[in-house]
């Protein structure tokens, strides 16, 4: 059971009484030790308890964190890369709407992080229009929209508002047992985030820090892969998963080096060292940048 299927997990537990075309893109990725392994959890908490486990979350990150890392790594704002918010009413099918909500949400986050609050409001409104058609009202309630309007000069307030929007979105979809929609919204948002980051990386001067951010998306790809497998029998996921597959598989093909985990205390926090590092070459990155763009263009096409 994974993060965005919490309700399904609870339901299952309750009822049961107790949760590209190229070779590199299509090759089945090998399971690395760092990939999600539920047997580990089963061993750790014991078989009996695992069977009664209320829920297993595979937390799919919201775009705010990735965009914040891109900014921190020396990224910059490129309005020309963003989707067209005027097209928000053109998306008609359930699949198109979920993709569009994810993409507009990321563009809203990206604009907020780079302090382009006029753009952020435009994408907030675009996301609201799509969400409304999907019956998602909680994240874009009047109070939150009014706060965004009043606080657009304050980046910190806008970041808070955007994080609240995602929190409300996730919780509403979970409450309404529409986790598969939430999964596709977040997957589309993730693709948009990788697309924006990789285009900035491609255009700017060499930036190892941002290269690392893009390569580290391998971890998110493994979470998505696990979620897609979990929902393999869901018709909506079965219909939409293929759109993400080439990017997920290309990232999963990156090898991961492992070293022992260390911990130390530093200024009131624990610093976790070692563990896992994603290895990559410039060819890998070029490939990921190309596939991210193809995937993104594919999901926003009408």
Partner 1 sequence: MRTILPTLLLIVTTLGFSNQADAQCKSFTKRMCLSELEGYTNNGQYNGAVLFEGEAASLVQTFYSGKDYRLYVCAHEAISDSLYYEVRDYKKTLIHTSKGAESNIFDFSVESTQQLYLTIKVPDMGTGNELKKNGCVSVLVGFKEEN
Are the beta carbons of 1 and 171 closer than 8 angstroms?
no
Q: How far apart are CA 181 and CA 257, in angstroms?
A: 34
CA distances for 226 relative to 5, 132, 185, 208, angstroms: 12, 29, 16, 28
Comparing CB distances to partner 1, the nearer of 73 and 198 is: 73
Comparing CB distances to partner 1, the nearer of 159 and 289 is: 159
Q: How far apart are CA 242 and CA 295, in angstroms?
A: 10
Instruction: Report phi then psi at 122, rounded to 5.
Output: -60, -45
The residue among 96, 20, 65 whose CA lies nearest residue 193 is 65
Comparing CB distances to partner 1, the nearer of 49 and 286 is: 49
Question: Which residues from 139-168 bind partner 1, rule CB under 8 A?
Answer: 159-160, 162-167
Contact stretch for partner 1 (CB under 8 A) within 12-20, 79-87, 90-98, 141-149: 12-20
Question: Which residues from 201-260 bind partner 1, rule CB under 8 A?
Answer: 209, 212-213, 216, 219-220, 222-223, 226, 258, 260
CB of 86 to partner 1, least distance (A): 26
CA distances for 191 relative to 61, 162, 164, 198, 295, angstroms: 12, 18, 21, 10, 7
Contact stretch for partner 1 (CB under 8 A) within 3-11, 89-97, 229-237, 287-295: 3-11
Comparing CB distances to partner 1, the nearer of 49 and 242 is: 49
CB of 170 to partner 1, least distance (A): 4
Question: Which residues from 16-75 bind partner 1, rule CB under 8 A?
Answer: 18, 33-34, 36-37, 40-41, 43-45, 49-50, 52-62, 64-65, 68-69, 72-73
Comparing CB distances to partner 1, the nearer of 20 and 61 is: 61
CA distances for 248 relative to 9, 146, 258, angstroms: 24, 37, 21
Comparing CB distances to partner 1, the nearer of 3 and 240 is: 3
> How many residues interact with partner 1 (rule CB under 8 A)?
76
When binding is defined by CB under 8 A, the residue of 274, 279, 286, 297 that contacts partner 1 is 274
Are the beta carbons of 236 and 262 closer than 8 angstroms?
no
């Amino acid at each position: 059971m994974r993060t965005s299927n919490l309700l399904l997990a609870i339901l299952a537990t309750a009822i049961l009484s107790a949760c590209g075309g190229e070779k590199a893109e299509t090759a089945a990725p090998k399971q690395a030790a760092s990939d999600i392994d539920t047997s580990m959890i089963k061993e750790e908490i014991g078989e009996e308890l695992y069977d009664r486990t209320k829920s297993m979350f595979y937390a799919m990150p919201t775009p705010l964190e990735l965009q914040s890392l891109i900014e921190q790594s020396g990224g910059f704002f490129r309005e020309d890369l963003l989707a067209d918010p005027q097209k928000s009413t053109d998306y008609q099918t359930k699949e198109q709407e979920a993709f569009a909500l994810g993409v507009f949400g990321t563009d809203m986050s990206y604009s907020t992080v780079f302090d382009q609050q006029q753009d952020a409001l435009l994408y907030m409104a675009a996301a609201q229009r799509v969400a409304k058609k999907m019956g998602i009202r909680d994240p874009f309630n009047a109070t939150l929209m009014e706060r965004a309007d009043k606080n657009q000069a304050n980046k910190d307030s806008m970041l808070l508002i955007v994080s609240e929007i995602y929190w409300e979105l996730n919780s509403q979809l979970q409450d309404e047992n529409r986790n598969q929609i939430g999964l596709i919204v977040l997957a589309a948002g993730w693709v948009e985030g990788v697309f924006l980051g990789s285009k900035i990386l491609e255009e700017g001067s060499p930036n190892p820090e941002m290269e690392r951010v893009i390569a580290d998306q391998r971890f998110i790809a493994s979470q998505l892969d696990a979620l897609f497998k979990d929902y393999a029998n869901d018709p909506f996921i079965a219909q939409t998963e293929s759109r993400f597959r080439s990017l997920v598989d290309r990232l999963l093909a990156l090898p991961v080096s492992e070293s022992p985990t260390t911990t130390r205390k530093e200024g009131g926090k624990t610093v976790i060292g070692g563990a896992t590092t994603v290895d990559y070459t410039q060819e890998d990155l070029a490939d990921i940048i190309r596939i991210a763009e193809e995937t993104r263009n594919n999901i926003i096409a009408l």
